[in-house]
Amino acid sequence: MSTDTALRDVGKTCQVSGNLTGLHARDVPQTFEVSGNLEGLHADFERMLQYKRFAVALTYPDAGFAAFFSDVAADADQLALEHDRLFRAKEIWLYGAEHVAQNEFQRAQILADVMGFYRAFGVAPGSDRPDALACEFEFMHYLVYKRLYALESSTLADSEDKAAVCFDAQQKFFAEHLYPAAKKVASAIAAHSENEFYRQIALEMLAFLEAEAARLVSTNEERTLALAFPPGQV
């Protein structure tokens, strides 16, 4: 079964458990359904699935990886060799701070800020660093999920406010942490790998990141301008 088929097979019901890729979550609702009468949410559902896909793609190709990318499971040994070559021998670090921090002080600041985002939403990295890109992609997946769940839960108090908080966090975390680092990593993978899986993932990641930047970063800038220049005061 192809990866796209595996993603589609989730259908309209999404299950999120405490064993998020690289993250541990508390108080995670078990299921929600994206109803047909909420216009625009199906696009967000697809975004959520893509964040999950890239989170898994950046992990070591073990049994969990093979279960998700079942169409390349037979190539697990070759993928493991390529993973080691790219992310160890080639030193394409899968940690955001290594690509954006200019010094140790900035690195410490970035790690603390990423942990601040995680704590605010009740998640924590497992055995990896908080700036591991697999964790950061998974966190964005979780934020999209939380927003969808809030919008779908008519009985949830202040659901619209909670959805807005999740979207604001998506904008900030993407612009400040995931986008600048993931773009560099994906570009490096595309430049240094001839492996079909990793090269395709890198190219798809670059396209996805640019689409998300147009959606999240531009929207955030428009909101900032609107607050700075209210209608009638420009």
Structural domains present in the chain: 3-218 (1.10.3480.10)
Measured torsion, CA atoms of residues 32, 34, 35, 36, in degrees rounded to the nearest 10: -170
Structure tokens at 192: 């240094």
Distance CA 67, CA 70 (A): 5
Low-confidence ranges of the chain (pLDDT < 50): 1-19, 26-32, 34, 37, 224-234
Interior/surface letters 16-52, b for 16+ CB within 10 angstroms, e for the rest: beeebbbbebeebeeebebeeeeeebeebbebbbbbb
Helices and strands counted in the chain (H then E): 11, 4
- Cβ(24)–Cβ(18) under 8 Å? yes
Of residues 100, 76, 73, 98, the one with CA closest to residue 87: 98
3-class secondary structure, 24: strand
- How do residues 151-181 score in pLDDT, each as one tens digit? 887 677 788 899 999 999 999 999 999 999 9
